[in-house]
Amino acid sequence: MIALITSSTTTTVGATLQKALPAAALDPDQLPTLDELRHWSGRLSHAATVAGTLAVLALALHWLAFRLVLRVLAGSEPEERAVVRRRLGLPTRLLAVALAWSLGDSENRLFTNLWEPVARFALPALFGWSLYAAVKCFGELVEARHTSGNDAEQAARSLHTRVTLLSRSAGAMIVVFTLALVLLRVPGVRHIGATLLASASLLGLAVGAAAQPALKSLIAGLQIALTEPIRIGDYVVVEGEAGRVEEIRLSYVVVRTLDERRVIVPTTRFLDSHFQNWTRAEGIIGTVIFPVRPGTPIAPLRAGFEKLLGDRPEWDGRSAWLMVTDAKVGMVEITLWMSASDPARLADLRLAMREGMLEWLRTEMPEALCRDAAVVRPHKGH
């Protein structure tokens, strides 16, 4: 395919040069005369002057229009103005020059013959690049203008997820559409494609079947952006792995586990089967279990637990219970119930409370500690 496009472009440029230059000037065995050198130097100089003048006028108009776009889109915020300059500056500048050359190429026939074959591919590519950059710029501006705080954390993550998925979906469609426009400009590729589509209807079925997973992933990505079963930053449990959603792409989701591993999960997995999203609830409850000796008074334990828990910044103030969940010879099982606003805070809270209660028992009630390992049975963490 690439060789076919290259040969077609070379043939087009060669035909253009044959139209622009006389046959005598293309003879490799004949040296140009002084009059021919003056003639072609004058024509080339005039073509270069026309191209340079049009480029300067295009850049000047682009500068004025770009300042207006900066004022409308970004206002006076320096961060937003930097985003617009970084995303839209170069592609729109090149597009302005290409449009100026296409509109003003009639001023010089040599320049017209040289620019016309290049414009076939340059204009669609620059239009696609500028539109792609505009989509990305708009997404970054929407996120930059969203004021996020502790109370708006979920709203910020929801917005970030939607903007990311929608901008990637739009970007993928723009890239495919631009590539199709460029390929349709190549006569060889256009004729081969028309012949294949006309002579083999089964090829369309094969291509459709092969593209089904990609289309399914694209639709799944859009559905996640609109329905939001997961968001970037959510704590999920999927396929036996627990972690935080780090990135959502059109075809897969990256989940970062507590041990810093990255689990790659297909996007359709979150729509076709069940998973756990611990961040969707308004807080989460966890437990800490430890044994004490039979006969230990429970009231001092409860008072010490409530005091330690109240001093922890991770606790959200919703739930705090100390319960006796089991009793047998040589051991009484104590379960501490506590709540936090998100799984990360709950994990820190459970570790801190386990350590704090053991230290409190060592200093305040050392007689309550179980020192016989035979009576302590292992427990699975909750």
Q: Over range 33-46, report the average pLDDT.
A: 65
pLDDT bracket for residue 191 (50, 70, 90): low
Lowest mean pLDDT among 115-124, 306-315, 322-331: 115-124
* pLDDT at residue 281, as a whole number: 66
Over the chain, what is the mean pLDDT? 75
The secondary structure of residue 369, as a DSSP letter, is: B
With CA atoms as reference, report the closest residue to 47 among 119, 118, 111, 112: 111
Q: Over range 66-74, report the average pLDDT.
A: 74
Does 199 score more than 50 pLDDT?
no
* pLDDT at residue 356, as a whole number: 93
Does 19 score more than 70 pLDDT?
no
Q: Over range 297-302, report the average pLDDT.
A: 92
Does 352 score more than 80 pLDDT?
yes
Does 219 score more than 70 pLDDT?
yes
Query: pTM (2 decimals)?
Result: 0.47
- Reported as a single tens digit per residue, the pLDDT across 141-184 is 777 666 544 445 666 666 777 777 777 778 878 887 787 777 77
Is the separation of the CB atoms in 186 and 8 below 8 Å? yes
Helical H segments across the chain, by residue range: 2-20, 34-69, 78-103, 109-144, 153-184, 187-199, 201-227, 269-272, 298-310, 343-364
Sheet holding 241-248, edge to edge: 262-266, 252-257, 241-248, 235-238, 276-277
Q: Over range 210-229, report the average pLDDT.
A: 68
pLDDT bracket for residue 381 (50, 70, 90): very low
Does 71 score more than 80 pLDDT?
no
Does 334 score more than 60 pLDDT?
yes
Say which CATH class 284-375 falls into: alpha beta
Contacts of 124 (CB under 8 A, 6+ apart): 178, 181, 182, 185
- Reported as a single tens digit per residue, the pLDDT across 236-256 is 888 888 888 888 877 788 999
Q: Over range 32-42, report the average pLDDT.
A: 61
Does 233 score more than 80 pLDDT?
yes
pLDDT bracket for residue 358 (50, 70, 90): very high
> Where in the chain are all domains bearing CATH 3.30.70.100?
284-375
| More confidently predicted of 333 and 122 | 333
pLDDT bracket for residue 312 (50, 70, 90): very high
* pLDDT at residue 218, as a whole number: 67
Compute, in degrees rounded to 10, the torsion defined by CA atoms 103, 105, 107, 112: -160
- Reported as a single tens digit per residue, the pLDDT across 151-163 is 456 666 667 777 7
- Reported as a single tens digit per residue, the pLDDT across 80-109 is 777 778 888 888 888 888 888 888 766 667
Percent of the chain with pLDDT over 90: 14
- Reported as a single tens digit per residue, the pLDDT across 269-299 is 888 888 888 776 677 888 999 899 998 899 9
| More confidently predicted of 29 and 368 | 368
Is the separation of the CB atoms in 249 and 265 below 8 Å? no
What six digits make up the tokens of 195? 């012949």
What six digits make up the tokens of 266? 């297909």
